[in-house]
């Protein structure tokens, strides 16, 4: 029994390990491998909860450990990625060496070196959202605000779209610092907005009651096949729109 109870926690720690590796790749401007380890971490994040429910070993330790792992994988990583994207948009040299950091904080501070730090607000907003989730007993069948893994996927899709140039204006738009600042502010807001968003948890597999879940899943498959990484921002927007429509339908049915 004791060994069984630790299996989901071990999977959660694999999520944390994946997030740590993703941070190292993101700091080194290797966004493709950073994204790969984020995907692996998010898989472990889903799988640990699934295992805990199946094994009947859900508990407060697992809940806290899960959030701590998510702070890194879905909080620190997108914050670092946005920091690096802002630095790239402002032509700031990579500040990964100790002597470069010393110059940044001991000599006259150039605003171009300070602005990229704004991207780390995504990490702060993610940590706040996760802490709020832990104490909110209402968020069982739905979420309030965008879940941190979904927001993380949204942010890391930006350099991936840029890397593979899915449309001609990609570089001009995604390397515009004002656009990136807007995305950062939007990300921080939607993470902690009080907008109810449906969870992808199925109580049954029938169409009734799961219409919007199936629409999102089917659309996700089609868009990911056709647009690949460029589909991720569209799917996040679709998820929010479907949730708003679902909420309005529920409200009307109760009135």
pLDDT digits (tens), the chain, 255 positions: 566 767 888 888 999 999 999 999 999 999 999 999 999 999 998 887 777 677 666 767 777 888 899 999 999 999 999 999 999 998 876 554 445 556 555 555 666 678 899 999 999 999 999 998 888 766 555 688 899 999 999 999 999 998 886 667 777 888 899 999 999 999 999 999 988 888 776 666 677 767 888 898 999 999 999 888 889 999 999 999 988 888 777 666 666
State the residue range of the domain holding 244. 200-255
State residue 250's pLDDT score.
64
State residue 49's pLDDT score.
72
**At which of 175, 194, 213 does a domain end?**
194
State residue 40's pLDDT score.
95
Residues 176 and 111 in one domain: yes
Can you tell me the distance from the alpha carbon of 31 to that of 59, in angstroms, rounded to the nearest whole number? 35
State residue 104's pLDDT score.
57
Residues 13 and 101 in one domain: yes
State residue 97's pLDDT score.
47
Tally the domains of the chain.
2
Q: What is the DSSP letter of 138?
A: T
Residues 204 and 189 in one domain: no
Residues 114 and 223 in one domain: no
Cβ atoms of 82 and 180 within 8 Å: the answer is yes
- Residues 6+ away with beta carbon under 8 Å from 113: 92, 95, 104
State residue 204's pLDDT score.
63
**At which of 163, 194, 225 does a domain end?**
194
Cβ atoms of 197 and 143 within 8 Å: the answer is yes
**At which of 155, 170, 194 does a domain end?**
194
Q: pTM of this prediction?
A: 0.86
Cβ atoms of 57 and 131 within 8 Å: the answer is no
The stretches of the chain forming alpha helices (DSSP H) are 2-27, 31-55, 60-71, 77-89, 98-106, 111-114, 121-135, 148-164, 170-174, 177-192, 211-227, 231-254
């Amino acid at each position: 029994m004791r060994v069984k109870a630790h299996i989901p926690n071990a999977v959660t720690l694999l999520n944390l390990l994946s997030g740590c590796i993703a941070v190292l790749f993101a700091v080194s401007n290797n966004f493709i491998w950073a994204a790969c380890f984020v995907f692996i971490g998010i898989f472990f994040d889903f799988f640990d909860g699934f295992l805990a429910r199946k094994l009947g070993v859900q508990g407060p330790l697992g809940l806290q450990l899960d959030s701590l792992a998510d702070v890194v994988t879905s909080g620190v990583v997108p914050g670092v990625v946005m920091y690096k994207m802002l630095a790239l948009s402002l032509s700031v040299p990579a500040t990964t060496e100790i002597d470069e950091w010393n110059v940044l904080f001991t000599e006259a501070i150039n605003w171009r070196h300070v602005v990229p730090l704004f991207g780390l607000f995504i990490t702060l907003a993610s940590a706040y959202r996760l802490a709020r989730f832990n104490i909110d007993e209402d968020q069982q069948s739905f979420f309030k605000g965008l879940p941190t893994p979904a927001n993380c996927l949204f942010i890391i899709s930006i350099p991936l779209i840029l890397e593979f140039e899915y449309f001609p204006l990609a570089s001009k738009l995604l390397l515009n610092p004002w656009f990136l600042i807007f995305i950062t502010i939007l990300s921080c807001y939607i993470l902690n907005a009080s907008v109810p968003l449906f969870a992808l948890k199925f109580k049954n597999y029938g169409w009734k009651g799961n219409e919007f879940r199936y629409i999102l899943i089917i659309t996700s498959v089609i868009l990911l096949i056709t647009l690949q990484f460029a589909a991720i921002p569209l799917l996040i927007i679709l998820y929010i729109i479907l949730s708003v429509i679902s909420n309005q339908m529920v409200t009307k049915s109760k009135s």
